[in-house]
Amino acid sequence: MIQTNYLIIGSGVAGLTFAVKIAEQFPDKKVTIVTKANENESNTKYAQGGIAIVTDTVGDSYQKHIEDTLICGDGLCDESVVEMVITEGPKRLKELIEWGAKFDQNTEGTLDLGKEGGHSENRVVHHKDQTGQEIQRAILNQVHQKENITVLDYHLAIDIITENNRCLGAYVLDQKTKEVITFQSDFIILATGGIGHLYGHTTNPKIATGDGIAMAFRANAVIREMEFIQFHPTALYDSSSGTSFLISEAVRGFGAYLRTKDGHRFMPDYDSRGDLASRDIVSQSIDLELKKTGAPCVYLDCTHLDLDGFKKHFPMIYEHCKSIGIDIAKDWIPVVPAQHYLCGGIVVDKNGKTSVENLFACGECSRTGLHGANRLASNSLLEALVYSDKIYQYLAENSAIENQAIHSVFGWKSAINPEINIDYVTETKAQLQLLMRQNAGIVRNDADLIKAGKKLSFWKKEIEQQIKKHNVNAALYELRNMIAIGDLIVQQSINRNENRGGFVKI
């Protein structure tokens, strides 16, 4: 058994930020980060656009950002949370800059602010088209400077240990030694990111399998609004399954147009904001166009844009397109919607507390009330920064709270069983991804959802039998989590059952 004061599961911006702050506040306490891949692999790393923060108080205002967020969330945001997150943005940005994060500036030496869909003003702070990677680099550098932080990579959290609705620790699989380690911790912070690979076609890295939410659900934490899944409108079209390359929304903010294969600019047909409508509207509009025409994709036209300016703002996108034979100066970029972000998740209060004592959550795995039915572009990094700080502030002020029931934490009982047939995992995962895309995708109906629910119910029983019969295996436990998440999405979609103007809101 390993004892630690703070066990953080996940190494994205949310988990790392909390780790740095709490380690600095309590240098004599142990902070442990477990992450199932290497330490810099997370959804944060792939965030291209930036952080939506009001820095220009002349042309912009907190109120405008608040209103944009509420409109985008379709009236289902918690207004007090929206106000709290947005007004704290400048403090968190200042902190990042002090930690060494570098953001693009204009010729006047002030922050170069981008504009994305759903925003009424330019307010997106960015580092070219690699903002998440730059933020992660800066925070990881801070982590490495703290002697009381231990980072354990290739460690997959399997389950949270609870007693009487109190979190006591977690079981964690060391994927290199195949040993299940029992952690006893005063507090656990879930910062496990999203669910993208439940759909296969996603902008998320392959580690995004909803592990934290599934573990929290098994620990009886409240999970809500799993039906609110955001599909990014412009992922690079690829007929194969797996992680899709993201074409940032900022490209449309820069002036690119969406077109059908015949060249028709279709977005003004659906929304007065045209190509800069919010993500849910653009994704649903593309879905309708594809169903009408039978085409496999639509196109993003950048040919009229300033090429030098494009290269400067989007070097990674330009080089990636070039590497696969797309010359953005004369070729349209083929794009389709892909699963991008989960707006629901583990319910937390304004301090990041879940319904289970001593268990906290932040980042994409949490449901804070900020996003409502649909996330406003570039609000996610902001939310992660604010909520990791809120958890830190709460625990810094309540440091005397500690688990007393160490004796109740029992070690993992390992059994010698045969290894799982990996073909079973691979085949079931592929079937699950197809089921979710077809039955619980951008536009949904009850008949498809009920059909999916029956299949998921069968898989839930089957996977539990497989877990009893076989040795602990990371792929098997990931699949278990994905099936649990799929069932939550389907059941909560059926319960919501809202159809708005011909669109099922996502």
Active-site residue identified among 92, 123, 252, 279: 279
Q: Per-residue pLDDT for 396 more than 70?
A: yes
More confident residue, 405 or 270: 270
Classify residue 29: in a domain, yes or no: yes
Mean pLDDT of the chain: 91
Does residue 375 have an active-site annotation?
Answer: no
Q: Per-residue pLDDT for 45 more than 90?
A: no
DSSP 140-197: HHHHHT-TTEEEEESEEEEEEEEETTEEEEEEEEETTTTEEEEEEEEEEEE-----GG
Domain extent at residue 175: 2-49+127-226+343-408
Of 470, 468, 440, the C-alpha closest to 454 is 440
331 and 357 both lie in a single domain: no
Q: What is the pLDDT at residue 502?
A: 34
Q: What is the CATH number of the domain that holds 394?
A: 3.50.50.60
> How many domains does the chain contain in total?
3
Average pLDDT over residues 96-114: 92
242 and 215 both lie in a single domain: no
Least confidently predicted of 89-93, 411-415, 473-477, 484-488: 411-415
Contact 341, 367 (CB under 8 A): no
376 and 463 both lie in a single domain: no
pLDDT by residue (tens digit) across 488-502? 999 999 998 654 433
9 and 136 both lie in a single domain: yes
Q: What is the pLDDT at residue 244?
A: 84
More confident residue, 157 or 48: 157
Q: Per-residue pLDDT for 210 more than 60?
A: yes
Q: What is the pLDDT at residue 238?
A: 81
pLDDT by residue (tens digit) across 258-288? 999 999 999 999 999 999 998 889 999 999 9
Which residues on neighbouring strands pair with residue 162, listed in sequence order?
A: 167
Q: Per-residue pLDDT for 406 more than 80?
A: no
Classify residue 202: in a domain, yes or no: yes
Classify residue 298: in a domain, yes or no: yes
What is the chain's alpha carbon radius of gyration, rounded to the nearest angstrom?
22
Q: What is the CATH number of the domain that holds 443?
A: 1.20.58.100
Burial code (b: 16+ CB inside 10 Å, e: under 16) for 473-496 equals bbebbbbbbbbbbbbbbbbbbbeb
Q: What is the CATH number of the domain that holds 298?
A: 3.90.700.10
pLDDT by residue (tens digit) across 445-465? 999 999 999 999 999 999 999
249 and 385 both lie in a single domain: no
Classify residue 60: in a domain, yes or no: no
At residue 504 the predicted structure's pLDDT band, cuts being 50, 70 and 90, is very low
Per cent of the chain over pLDDT 90 is 78
At residue 197 the predicted structure's pLDDT band, cuts being 50, 70 and 90, is very high
Look up residue 61 and give its DSSP letter: -
Q: Per-residue pLDDT for 402 more than 60?
A: no
Q: Per-residue pLDDT for 506 more than 60?
A: no
Q: What is the pLDDT at residue 503?
A: 37
Q: What is the pLDDT at residue 408?
A: 64
Per cent of the chain over pLDDT 70 is 93
Structure tokens that stand for 333 in this block: 């970029």
More confident residue, 400 or 505: 400
Classify residue 82: in a domain, yes or no: no
Q: What is the pLDDT at residue 107?
A: 86
Residues 6+ apart with CB under 8 A from 473: 419, 420, 425
Q: How far apart, in whole angstroms, are the C-alpha atoms of residue 229 and residue 293?
A: 25
Classify residue 62: in a domain, yes or no: no
pLDDT by residue (tens digit) across 281-326? 999 999 999 989 899 999 999 999 999 999 999 999 999 999 999 9
Instruction: Give whichever of 168-177, 272-281, 411-420 has the largest mean pLDDT.
Output: 168-177
pLDDT by residue (tens digit) across 122-146? 999 999 878 888 999 999 999 999 9
Contact 452, 439 (CB under 8 A): yes
Q: What is the pLDDT at residue 201?
A: 86
Q: What is the pLDDT at residue 505?
A: 39
